[in-house]
Amino acid sequence: MLPTITNYGRYPSDNYGAHTRTVSLAQIDLYYSYNTIVAYCDKKDGLTVSVNIWGATTGKHLNWIDGGNKKARLPNDAFNVALRAAA
Protein backbone atom coordinates (compact mmCIF):
# COMPACT_ATOMS: atom_id res chain seq x y z
CA MET A 1 0.00 0.00 0.00
CA LEU A 2 1.31 3.41 -0.91
CA PRO A 3 1.26 6.14 1.74
CA THR A 4 -1.35 8.85 1.56
CA ILE A 5 -0.71 12.43 2.60
CA THR A 6 -3.49 14.63 3.94
CA ASN A 7 -3.79 17.92 5.79
CA TYR A 8 -5.27 18.05 9.30
CA GLY A 9 -4.85 21.82 9.59
CA ARG A 10 -7.72 24.25 9.99
CA TYR A 11 -6.09 27.22 8.34
CA PRO A 12 -8.36 29.57 6.39
CA SER A 13 -5.92 29.34 3.49
CA ASP A 14 -4.22 26.31 1.95
CA ASN A 15 -0.97 28.31 1.90
CA TYR A 16 -0.12 26.91 5.35
CA GLY A 17 -1.38 23.37 4.76
CA ALA A 18 2.10 22.01 4.19
CA HIS A 19 2.79 22.64 7.88
CA THR A 20 0.05 20.25 9.04
CA ARG A 21 0.44 16.96 7.23
CA THR A 22 -0.61 13.44 8.09
CA VAL A 23 1.24 10.62 6.36
CA SER A 24 -0.80 7.43 6.49
CA LEU A 25 1.03 4.15 6.04
CA ALA A 26 -0.46 0.65 6.24
CA GLN A 27 -0.13 0.35 10.05
CA ILE A 28 0.37 3.91 11.33
CA ASP A 29 -0.62 7.52 10.74
CA LEU A 30 2.13 10.08 11.39
CA TYR A 31 1.15 13.66 12.22
CA TYR A 32 3.66 16.35 11.35
CA SER A 33 4.00 19.92 12.49
CA TYR A 34 6.35 21.41 9.93
CA ASN A 35 8.97 18.64 9.52
CA THR A 36 8.58 17.07 12.97
CA ILE A 37 6.44 14.08 13.92
CA VAL A 38 4.38 15.33 16.87
CA ALA A 39 1.75 12.57 17.06
CA TYR A 40 0.90 9.16 15.66
CA CYS A 41 -2.03 6.81 15.60
CA ASP A 42 -1.86 3.04 15.32
CA LYS A 43 -4.07 0.10 16.24
CA LYS A 44 -2.08 -0.79 19.36
CA ASP A 45 -1.70 2.60 21.06
CA GLY A 46 -4.40 4.65 19.37
CA LEU A 47 -3.69 8.36 19.15
CA THR A 48 -0.42 9.28 20.89
CA VAL A 49 0.61 12.93 21.10
CA SER A 50 3.74 14.62 22.44
CA VAL A 51 3.62 17.51 24.86
CA ASN A 52 4.44 20.81 23.22
CA ILE A 53 8.15 21.58 23.48
CA TRP A 54 8.24 23.72 20.32
CA GLY A 55 6.07 26.83 20.41
CA ALA A 56 2.65 28.44 20.00
CA THR A 57 2.04 27.38 16.40
CA THR A 58 2.87 23.73 17.05
CA GLY A 59 0.70 23.97 20.17
CA LYS A 60 -2.19 24.98 17.91
CA HIS A 61 -1.40 22.00 15.66
CA LEU A 62 -1.42 19.64 18.66
CA ASN A 63 -4.82 20.99 19.73
CA TRP A 64 -6.16 20.31 16.25
CA ILE A 65 -4.87 16.73 16.45
CA ASP A 66 -6.15 15.81 19.92
CA GLY A 67 -8.85 18.38 20.57
CA GLY A 68 -6.77 20.01 23.33
CA ASN A 69 -6.47 16.89 25.51
CA LYS A 70 -3.21 18.04 27.13
CA LYS A 71 -3.51 15.59 30.05
CA ALA A 72 -3.11 12.62 27.69
CA ARG A 73 0.05 13.92 26.00
CA LEU A 74 3.32 12.14 26.66
CA PRO A 75 6.56 13.83 27.66
CA ASN A 76 8.60 14.19 24.48
CA ASP A 77 11.25 11.61 25.48
CA ALA A 78 8.55 9.02 26.25
CA PHE A 79 6.74 9.94 23.03
CA ASN A 80 9.89 9.29 20.99
CA VAL A 81 10.39 5.90 22.66
CA ALA A 82 6.75 4.96 21.97
CA LEU A 83 7.02 6.14 18.36
CA ARG A 84 10.15 4.07 17.73
CA ALA A 85 8.40 1.00 19.21
CA ALA A 86 5.32 1.61 17.05
CA ALA A 87 7.18 2.18 13.79
pLDDT tens-digit map of 28-59 = 999 999 999 999 999 999 999 999 999 999 99
pLDDT band with cut points at 50, 70 and 90 for residue 13: low
Q: Give the chain's domain count.
A: 1
If you average pLDDT over every residue of the chain, what do you get?
A: 92
The rounded distance, in Å, linking the Cα atoms of 2 and 48 is 23
Local confidence band at 87 (pLDDT 50, 70, 90 cut-offs): confident
> What pLDDT shows up at residue 15?
65
Residue 56: left if φ>0, alpha if ψ -120 to 50, beta else—which one? alpha
For residue 52, the model assigns a pLDDT of: 97
H or E stretch at 68: none
Which pTM does this prediction carry? 0.91
- In terms of residue numbers, what domain contains 49? 4-86
